[in-house]
């Protein structure tokens, strides 16, 4: 039996639209809601080029609040990666750990692009972050291709087989917007810590 949703709900309308927009995987990421839960999505993304994660394929969950897009999602990586703990909510400006930085114009696609952009950055001791060596991350990237999700099965086929294509202007602007906000947050929090 298919779940029933209130089609007048802003969150349901938005998630249905995003599911349609993301129905075709790209070579960088794919995402889809679970068949029985529109508010839980699984995603797969390719590790960023020229990083310790290059060649890796990473899988995770996005848990969306019932008042999405007014409130941010929880993002959980399931594949061991050496950057974030697995099966824990990731602390990023695009996640529920920082609702003050979330913008309703952002989307699941924005979150995925930002996640890819944040992978090679310094963790700076944030919640759930790991500081593995480059060698350990490279080794995990190799192993990630064989990782299997309990719900989705093998993940390597979930991405399009195209060669990496450049980001669109809109995608680049979204990433720059998110990373700019993160830089401001770190700058502000470092000033506060310095004053304490």
Give the pair of three-digit tokens for residue 92.
């990023």
All structural domains of the chain with their residue ranges: 10-195
91 in catalytic set: yes
Angle between helices 108-118 and 10-21 (to 10 degrees): 60
> Which CATH fold topology does 10-195 show?
Ubiquitin Conjugating Enzyme (3.10.110)
The string of pLDDT tens digits covering residues 162-175 is: 554 556 677 667 66
- The catalytically annotated residue of 63, 91, 159, 160 is 91
The string of pLDDT tens digits covering residues 21-58 is: 999 999 899 999 999 999 999 999 999 999 999 999 99
The string of pLDDT tens digits covering residues 133-179 is: 999 999 999 999 999 999 999 988 888 775 545 566 776 676 666 65
Judged against a pLDDT cut of 60, whether residue 181 lies above it is answered with: no
pLDDT at res. 166: 55
């Amino acid at each position: 039996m298919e779940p029933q949703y209130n089609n007048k709900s802003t969150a349901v309308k938005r998630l249905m639209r995003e599911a349609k927009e993301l129905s075709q995987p790209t070579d960088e990421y794919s995402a889809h809601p679970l068949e029985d839960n529109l508010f839980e999505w699984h995603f797969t993304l390719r590790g960023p080029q020229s990083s310790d994660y290059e060649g890796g394929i990473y899988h995770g969950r996005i848990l969306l609040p019932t008042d999405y897009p007014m409130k941010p999602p929880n993002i959980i990586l399931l594949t061991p990666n050496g950057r974030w703990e697995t099966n824990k909510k990731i602390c990023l400006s695009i996640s529920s750990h920082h609702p003050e930085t979330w913008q309703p114009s952002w989307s699941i696609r924005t979150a995925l692009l930002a996640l890819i952009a944040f992978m090679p950055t310094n963790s700076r001791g944030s919640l759930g972050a790991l500081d593995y060596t480059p060698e350990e991350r490279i080794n995990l990237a190799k192993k990630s291709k064989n990782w299997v999700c309990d719900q989705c099965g093998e993940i390597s086929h979930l991405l399009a087989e195209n060669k990496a294509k450049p980001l669109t202007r809109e995608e680049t602007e979204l990433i720059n917007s998110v990373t700019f906000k993160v830089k401001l947050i770190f700058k502000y929090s470092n000033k506060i810590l310095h004053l304490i």
